[in-house]
Amino acid sequence: MAQLAADFLDRIPTEPGVYIMKDAAGKVIYVGKAKNLRTRVRQYFRPGGDERFFVAAGFLGKLLADIETVVVTDEKEALLLENHLVKRHQPKFNVKLRDDKQYLVLRVLPPELGEGAAPARRFPRVQVARNIKDDGARYFGPYHSATSCRETLRVLNRHFQLRTCTDHVLEHRGRVCLQYQIQRCPGPCALPVSPQAYADSVDDVVLFLEGKDRELIARLRERMKAAADAERYEVAGRLRDSIAAVERTVSRQHIVQEDFVDQDVFGVHREGDAAELAVLFVRAGKLVGKRSFAQKDQELPDAELIGAFVQQYYATGTFIPDEVVVPVEPQDADLLAGWLGIARGKKVKLVWPQRGTRVRLLELATKNAETAMTSRRDKGADVEAALGKLQARLGLRRLPQRIECFDIAHVQGTDTVASMVTFVDGQPARSLYRTFKIRTSTNDDFASMYEVLSRRFKRSLKARVGGGRDDDAWAPPDLLVIDGGKGQLAMAVTALRDLGIELEREDAMDVVSLAKERELAAGDAPDRVYLRNVKEPVALRANTAELFLLARLRDEAHRFANTFHRERRSKATLRSALDDVPGIGATRRRALLKHFGSVAAIAAASEEAIAKVPGMNRKAAAQLRSALNQEASPSVTTQEGVPDLEGPGEPEILPMVED
């Protein structure tokens, strides 16, 4: 690899341009742009210089055979050339514009009013198309379904009366057709139709498709009034119907933005190295449609992913709005905004808002991206790929189809509990969740972990012999994950070995610990996985499938432990405040809580008010007031002083309690 780097770097220029990576067969595998080509390419050969998956995973050294460069004048030219090369070669490791289907768009050619213009150009029609071309036509959409697209076309043909026949029929027909008879076409094929009047109708259609309803309605009303003043009542009636149709369409559209500008709003949802991007189309403040795209094997940071995607998206000739809203500042944001302005022929505002209505639009776009990923993905294939990557990254002995994770929760050593969370085939198996009450309420997480693992795997050993009806629930996992660092891993291994479980066998389960990322001055350190008999931890890069799976597992164990701990603390507080008062049983406790709403409200009430509660009397009220006024009771005043209510005996192992 070092020799390969030396060979490449010696001949790479320092000017701005594009670099093209090729494999041994000469196939393009990646295209990139750079302000300084040599500096950028050098990063691929430095440890930690580039964290993209095909670089960090070692694929680059295996695949790369040659690097070509193209020098250009400046970064804008490099951006344009990169766009062209990515569309031409479709490199394996570039962000590619792909979705699950070709969306429909509506195509409108601007009319030509000259005498020498062909009839098809003087009287253009609205067409349904699937591909956007650079042919001078206006394209509107895309429409998420053929039904919505053709319904829009039907409204246009009915109320704006443009021709629907083909160019060939227009030029060769000698008499008007049925569309003219039902007043849905002015009949330019056989009648002397004014090109200017027809061009006005085309302009109306364009305004309607652009969502500029106010301007369109004003134009139609002006022409309706003019027709009525000229006593052309039939024409005025048609214009009245057109206004009503536009107003009905406007009333069905959802207003999402008070600023009446055209916007495209990009949202991204990530699950490991899989990403889904959604684009919401907001026209004149109204949400009119959306489109979504899937990206696989993309470990790029969000800034680079968004920048590359936006660049590819608008390079296809798609309509560029006044404003492009993105969730994070894209890579080379100023360059991208300048390129968008050049492509549109008018300044484009590129924004990544932090507050306001645009943030709510971003949240909506992100939600749409998440929904699209859920509906389109092959869950079985995704899970198998993620588990395979986890096995390869950690060097596990077998595919981790069943994974268990343990976490400890307490407040300064009180009410210590543990959770056991189980994932089967990468998904939570909630029927296999378990909670444990730790026998000794101490502030020693290591001792608590030793206890809970000993108890859990004693059940596993009994299940192996065949000692209970829930043998499958206690079967050993393929991978055991401990939340913590090297110390927690050592304690877990000790607990298992003390039970006689051999971890060195080829078919034994793997045991690892997962340490959460730390906040450092230079940035976040990656999550680290500690392995047995390995000195240095394995760092998991952000936006990887393996980190996504392990982080979900850890967060679920943490959530489940904290939920159970809060329930215990809440029950302990209620017991100490009411249940231990002489003369206050379950019936009176329920009546008191129903009447006052909380223990604090009972403590603040007078003795007379307490005595009036159904089931209470003056003597019981006095005893309750006396007990609640004992401020020295730690169970009443502080959470830290909650007493241990378990008493002697074997701690209870509880099945999962649904939230």
Domain boundary among 39, 64, 89: 89
Which of 141-145, 504-508, 597-601 is predicted least confidently? 141-145
Q: Is 94 within a domain? A: no
Residues 295 and 428 in one domain: no
Residues 6 and 48 in one domain: yes
Residue 102's pLDDT band, with cuts at 50, 70 and 90, is: low
Residues 553 and 407 in one domain: yes
Q: Check which CATH number belongs to the domain holding 355 and give it.
A: 3.30.420.10
Assess whether pLDDT exceeds 60 at residue 634.
Answer: no
**What's the chain's average pLDDT?**
78
Stretch 493-503: mean pLDDT: 89
Assess whether pLDDT exceeds 90 at residue 325.
Answer: yes
Q: Is 54 within a domain? A: yes
Residues 407 and 363 in one domain: no
For residue 645, give its domain range: 564-655
Task: In whole angstroms, give the CA distance from residue 607 to residue 602.
Answer: 10
Task: In whole angstroms, give the CA distance from residue 560 to residue 637.
Answer: 26
Domain boundary among 494, 523, 558: 558
Domain boundary among 354, 377, 400: 377
Q: Check which CATH number belongs to the domain holding 409 and give it.
A: 3.30.420.340
Q: Is 43 within a domain? A: yes
Residues 194 and 228 in one domain: yes
- Reported as a single tens digit per residue, the pLDDT across 43-71 is 877 765 565 545 554 556 677 888 888 77
- Reported as a single tens digit per residue, the pLDDT across 520-553 is 334 455 678 899 888 888 887 776 777 888 888 8
DSSP states of 135-186: SS-EEEEEESSHHHHHHHHHHHHHHT----S-HHHHHH--S--HHHHTTS--
* Residues ≥6 apart with Cβ < 8 Å to 611: 617, 618, 620, 621
Angle at 206 between CA 200 and CA 208, to 5 degrees: 105
pLDDT of 585 reads 82
Q: Is 511 within a domain? A: yes
Residues 124 and 28 in one domain: no
- Reported as a single tens digit per residue, the pLDDT across 233-273 is 877 887 788 788 777 665 544 444 545 678 899 999 888 77
pLDDT greater at residue 606 or residue 130: 606
pLDDT of 350 reads 92
Q: Is 384 within a domain? A: no
Q: Is 12 within a domain? A: yes
Distance of CA 3 to the CA centre of its chain: 41
Q: Is 385 within a domain? A: no
Domain count for the chain, please give it.
5
Residues 70 and 133 in one domain: no
Residues 540 and 410 in one domain: yes
